Amino acid sequence: MRFLLFTIALYLCCPSLKAANAELDSLLTKANELREFYEDFNAISHYKKALNYDSTNLNALFHIAYLYSRQGWLNKVDEERVVLHRKAMNYAEKAYHHHPKSFEANLIMAG
């Protein structure tokens, strides 16, 4: 109970925390929109910016891994495909490390 009260008090007293949460939400919303329109690399850029606010954000980690993987499958140049799949695996491992029981982290690790 004390932790909950402390968290609420901290949130109310720290406008910068509110602004950071709003910025994170804005970046994730924009990234999701870009992903829906298949603008994968622009979406990845927004998801990475979101990780600056929350480095363990499952939504961002999952989608970065997924989008790098998708680009790896679409790419025709073998060397570039390898690089993209390695980047995908890196973010998949981060997602799994921070969220080992989540469906998304396990799904992206399964590749």
- Predicted confidence (pLDDT) at residue 22 exceeds the cutoff of 80: yes
Name residue, tokens 């992903």. Answer: 35
Rounded to a whole number of angstroms, the CA Rg of the chain reads: 16
- Predicted confidence (pLDDT) at residue 18 exceeds the cutoff of 70: no
**Which residues, including other chains, have CB under 8 Å from residue 26's CB and lie 6 or more apart?**
none
The model's pLDDT over 70-108, given as tens digits with 9 standing for 90+, comes to 999 999 999 999 999 999 999 999 999 999 999 999 999
Of 13 and 87, the one with more pLDDT: 87
